[in-house]
Amino acid sequence: MARLLEGKPVAEKIRQDIVKEIETLGKKPVLASVMVGDNSGAEAYVKSQKKIAEALGVEYQLHKLSSGTTEHALAEFIEKLNKDKSVNGIIIQMPLPQQIDYKLISQHIQPDKDIEGMHPANIGKVVFGKAKLIPCTAAAVMELLNAAEVELKGKEVVVVGHSEIVGKPLALLLLDKLATVTVCHIGTFEAKKLEEHVRKAEILIVAVGKAELIPGDWVKDGAVVIDVGINRVGDRVVGDIEHEGAFRHASIITPVPGGVGPLTVVMLMRNLVEAAKLQK
Ligand code: NAD
């Protein structure tokens, strides 16, 4: 039977640290959030970001641009925010209209204002183990492992999912802690090798976005399990791992919802404070 590793208490502790850091900054940090078009998908995120920001003493500025905004016009708008000394961090809300390529547009954000940690300059620093602005979800997973005092050195860690925002940066952060990291993805699945890798994992982290892709019985006895997935199935939200079965085998497991989720926005705010310090 596993111990449930909930995100809320970990997030709460980091929130307290952020409030203290903001006090020492001597000025409310300013987060500029850019939303293009009427975007019901992003509205919920914006609302929760704003609420957390304000509770921490962060000024949250929402900039709504019309749905017809071109990539060039958005790049110019970002340039304006880059030059604005009162703005400490910039985020672009997803999804974007189809005329805008997120990968291209996110590179216009000045690296020291890139609080999502997605600029190549910041990702590059993750490679060298010197990053200050780390992609939020990957940072959230590392915080959970740290809070649960999970030893990473020499451990067999399997990450399922190799996206730029989660799997890839996470693999680098884990390598930096001298874990033995295997990254699985759609290619592993199609080669029918997912099960053999997952079964080996002493620490299993899954970020795919497919409801209960990993059967609980694949989880090694005593494993630490972090489920990043958020999937809506009818009126339920489930992870990428079949929770009940995994709970029987794991020593520690995150719930969905309530595991990684509560930490992600807090990581964004921590990056904002880091950004403000970098700009000083
Ligand atoms: P993505 O779509 O960018 O990447 C999905 C990854 O899964 C890819 O590497 C792909 O190769 C792999 N994959 C797809 N099907 C697979 C299969 N059958 N077997 C093995 N690998 C497979 O996704 P993402 O943006 O990294 O998000 C992944 C999940 O994490 C989603 O459910 C998302 O909602 C969730 N997420 C949660 C948080 C949070 O705060 N908890 C934050 C970000 C993402």
Angle formed at CA 151 by CA 148 and CA 155, multiple of 5 degrees: 130
Q: Report residues of the chain scoring pLDDT below 70.
A: none
25-60 tens-digit pLDDT: 999 999 999 999 987 878 888 999 999 999 999 999
CB of 194 closer than 6 angstroms to any ligand 1 atom: yes
CB of 210 closer than 6 angstroms to any ligand 1 atom: yes
> 């497919």: which residue's tokens?
210
pLDDT of residue 49: 95
DSSP state of 84: -
Nearest to 91 by CA among 69, 68, 119: 119
Query: If you measure from the C-alpha of residue 114 to the centroid of ligand 1, how many angstroms do you get, rounded to a whole number?
Result: 22
Query: Is the whole model's pTM more than 0.95, yes or no?
Result: yes
DSSP state of 164: T
Query: If you measure from the C-alpha of residue 2 to the centroid of ligand 1, how many angstroms do you get, rounded to a whole number?
Result: 24
CA 191 to each of CA 26, 198, 209: distance values in angstroms, whole numbers, following the listed order:
55, 14, 19
Residue whose Cα lies nearest atom 39 of ligand 1: it is 261
Please enumerate in sequence order all residues whose Cβ is within 8 A of that of 250, keeping only pairs 6 or more positions apart, or say none.
2, 219, 222, 223, 224, 225
DSSP state of 114: B
Distance CA 75, CA 274 (A): 24
Report all structural domains of the chain as residue ranges with CATH numbers, in order of start: 24-116 (3.40.50.10860), 135-261 (3.40.50.720)
The DSSP string of 179-211 is -EEEEE-HHHHHTT-HHHHHHH-SEEEE---ST
pLDDT of residue 197: 99
pLDDT of residue 27: 93
CB of 229 closer than 6 angstroms to any ligand 1 atom: yes
pLDDT of residue 44: 86
Pairing of strands 236-238, 231-233: antiparallel
pLDDT of residue 52: 96
pLDDT of residue 273: 98
What order of strands is seen across the sheet that includes strand 59-65?
59-65, 30-36, 89-92
Residue whose Cα lies nearest atom 34 of ligand 1: it is 230
pLDDT of residue 143: 98
